[in-house]
Structures are given as C-alpha cells and as structure tokens.
Amino acid sequence: MKIAKTIKEAQRIVKNFALRNKWKDVPNVDKFDHLHEELIEMSQYLRYKSERERIKFVKENKNIFKDGIGDLFFGLCRLANQLNVDIEDAFNIVKSEILQKYNHKGHENNIVKKK
C-alpha cells in the first residue's frame, strides 16, 4: 500500500479506497459522529488526571494515541472528500486567523491543575 507523504496524498488515498469499496462521497452525518466518538475515546484516557499523570500516561501508551490520531485523520479525509473540501486549503484559510487570535503566551486551555 502506498505511503502518504502529504495531506493531499492522504486525502487521495482515502478517496480511492472509498471508490474501490463503492462508497459514495456524499455528506454523511455518521462521519461527524465517528470523529466525535474517536475524540471522546482518546479524551477519556486523560480525563480527571493531573498534568503529570497525563504526560506519564501518554508516554507509556503512545500507541493508543497514534492509533486514535490515525483514525481521526483517516475519518477527516473521508469527511473532507464527502464535503468536497481540500484539507490543505481549509487549513490555510484558518491558519492566519488562528495564529493571530491566539498569539499570546498564556495557557492553551482552562483545565485546572491538580495539586
């Protein structure tokens, strides 16, 4: 199987996979639900842990997150194809806005640290 070296290649691989399986590239709410479920599954591993516990868990269980991120990216490529959206274009549209909006040195989130 071909190895994707760019986001465009990954999106094309997923598109060809769907075509081989005779899957229609039409918007499908199930794909949104699938992505949501993958995110929830990964977040549950880290929920209610201190920063130190989260760092340790990720380090010791890297494969869980590699698999989850891979599933998310494959699913995102599938969703983007269904919506006829080029992921690289979509990223570049929001990149400047996000970089400018969050151009500060504060915390990334509002999670309270355990003592």
Return d(Cα 71, Cα 84) in angstroms, integer.
20
Say what the pTM is. Answer: 0.83
pLDDT at residue 115, as a whole number: 47
Say if CB 41 and CB 68 are below 8 A apart: yes
pLDDT at residue 36, as a whole number: 96
Amino acid 8 reads K
105 band by pLDDT with thresholds 50, 70 and 90? low
Write out pLDDT tens, residues 8-65: 999 999 999 999 999 988 988 999 999 999 999 999 999 999 999 999 999 999 999 9
Write out pLDDT tens, residues 51-75: 999 999 999 999 999 999 999 999 9
